Amino acid sequence: MPGSPQLSAIASLFAQRVVIGVGDLAVSNNQQTVLSTYALGSCIGVAVYDPEVRAGGILHLMLPESKISPGKAAAQPAMFADTGLPMLFRKLTGFQVAADRLVLFVAGGASVIQGTDPFRIGERNIRATLDYLQQHGYNVRASQTGGSINRTIHLEVSTGMLLLKTAGSEQKLSLAD
C-alpha cells in the first residue's frame, strides 16, 4: 500500500546518501539518492533540481576564482566558482535537464574567522556565485548566505525536498514546485 509505514521503512533501507566534500560536486537522477554536503562555512553550496526529470546536484565550492591556482583548478575544478558552476550544469545535461526548469538554492558564504577577515572569502564566494547564476539566467528559488554560522544541506532527488540545517535549527524547502 503506497505511503504505508512498512513501504517507507523498506524504501529507507535502499536509500543512498552521497556526501559531497569540499571542492567537489555530485549529480544524480537516482530516486533513492539523497545528496548531502556538510559544514558550509565560507564555502558555498549550490543545490540544483529539475522537477520534471527529477534530477539534481550539489556543488560545494571553496573559492571564487580559479586564477589564484590554475594547477589546482585543472585538477579539482569544483573547488572554484568560475570552474565548478559550469561543470555542475554540464554534468546535469546528461540527465536531460532544461535550464529554464532548474530551481536553485544557495547556502554558505559565512564569515567564520573570529575578528576581521582581510580576505573576505565568504563575501567573495557569494558574489562570484550569484553573479555567475544571474549572468546565465538561473532561477535561484532561495538562499541563505552570509552571517557567521555553518550550514549543511541535503537534497532528496526523488522529491526535490531540500533540508537546511544550522546549529539548533532545520528548515525544509521544496525545489520541486
Number of domains in the chain: 1
- Identify the three-state secondary structure at position 96: coil
Convert 25-59 to b/e letters by CB count within 10 Å (16 or more is b).
bbbbbeeebbbbbbebbbbbbbbbbbbeebbbbbb
Max Cα-Cα span within the chain:
58
Residue 71 lies in a domain: yes
pTM of the model: 0.90
Is the pLDDT reported for residue 149 higher than 60? yes
100 domain residue, yes or no: yes
The domain in which residue 128 lies consists of: 17-174
Q: Per-residue pLDDT for 9 more than 70?
A: no
Number of Cβ within a 10 Å radius of residue 128 = 20
pLDDT in tens, 151-174: 999 999 999 999 999 998 999 999
In a domain, 1, yes or no: no
Residue 78 lies inside a defined structural domain of this protein: yes
Look up the CATH number of the domain holding residue 64: 3.30.1330.200
d(CA 176, CA 167) in angstroms, rounded, equals 26
62-118 pLDDT tens trace:
999 999 999 999 999 999 999 999 999 999 999 999 999 999 999 999 997 765 666
Is 49 within a domain? yes
Q: Has residue 7 been placed in a domain?
A: no
